[in-house]
Amino acid sequence: MTYKQIYIEFERRLQVMFPDMIVEKKPSSDLVLQYLNDGLNRFVTTRFTGLNYKRLGFEQDQKRIDDLKSLVKEKTYDVDVNNYITLPDDYLHLLGETAYITSADKCWPLEGNKPLIKQTDVLEATIENIDSKLANSLSEHHLHGNRARPLRLIKGNQIHLYTDGKYTVDSYKITYLKKPDAFTLDNPMYEYTDLPEYVLNEIINLAISIYLADKGDNRYNLAQNEVAQME
């Protein structure tokens, strides 16, 4: 569907539910776009978290995977001496991560005449427990037997990686769910390709249900039932 077709379909379905609506009471184009984008954001959130009628989140059944797989992205960062990276502007949820570490320790294996770069996962940390984890001498973020897992802390729009100083993080890869492209009329004849076309009908129905809820209209429950049937 094109952006314009999505917009028109919202108005068409709304007219079916409100056949007596006069032109003056129709939502403005800006308001239609607002409701469509509210529906879009709610769709992604409920499909990811499982806060929906089926109580199933991302990767809990095939439909949930298919619904959101076009939003799954990967990005690999070279990590500098500060050991932090800035999350992408379109970042929404972290799905997976891998750290690539190396060391100048004399026992660290070599690849040719250079220290080997090893792939490892990370240890999650929070603002509340980062200090205790760093102080824990038994933590796996300490290099031991040529193995280590950096501590990872998400702070604002940055990911901070902590080591014991005996090894470094050479690079870091994340798999993440990106924010979907918003609906707009800037290029109305362009195809909307950020999500599968079949979910656009669900999003339009969600947008209408949000609109009806804002109006306090008793057809809100009907719209919600239609949304549930499409899940």
- The tens digit of pLDDT for each residue in 106-150 reads 899 999 999 999 999 999 999 999 999 999 999 999 999 899 999
For residue 113, being part of any structural domain is answered with yes
Q: Are residues 18 and 37 in the same domain?
A: yes
Instruction: Mark out the alpha helices in the chain (DSSP H runs).
Output: 3-17, 29-49, 62-68, 130-135, 197-215, 220-230
Q: Are residues 163 and 106 in the same domain?
A: yes
pLDDT of residue 78: 94
Q: Is the C-alpha dihedral spanning 219, 220, 225, 230 positive or negative?
A: positive
Answer with the residue of higher pLDDT: 16 or 23: 16
Residue 80, phi then psi, degrees to nearest 5:
-90, -170
Q: Is the pLDDT of residue 24 over 90?
A: no
For residue 50, being part of any structural domain is answered with yes
Between CA 23 and CA 30 the distance in angstroms is 15
Q: What is the pLDDT of residues 51-72, one digit of tens each?
A: 444 444 444 456 777 889 999 9
pLDDT of residue 195: 95
**Number of domains forming the structure of the chain:** 2
For the chain, the average pLDDT equals 86
Q: Is the pLDDT of residue 203 over 90?
A: yes
Q: Is the pLDDT of residue 26 over 80?
A: no
The whole domain housing 146 covers 93-177
Predicted TM-score (pTM) of the model is: 0.83
For residue 78, being part of any structural domain is answered with no
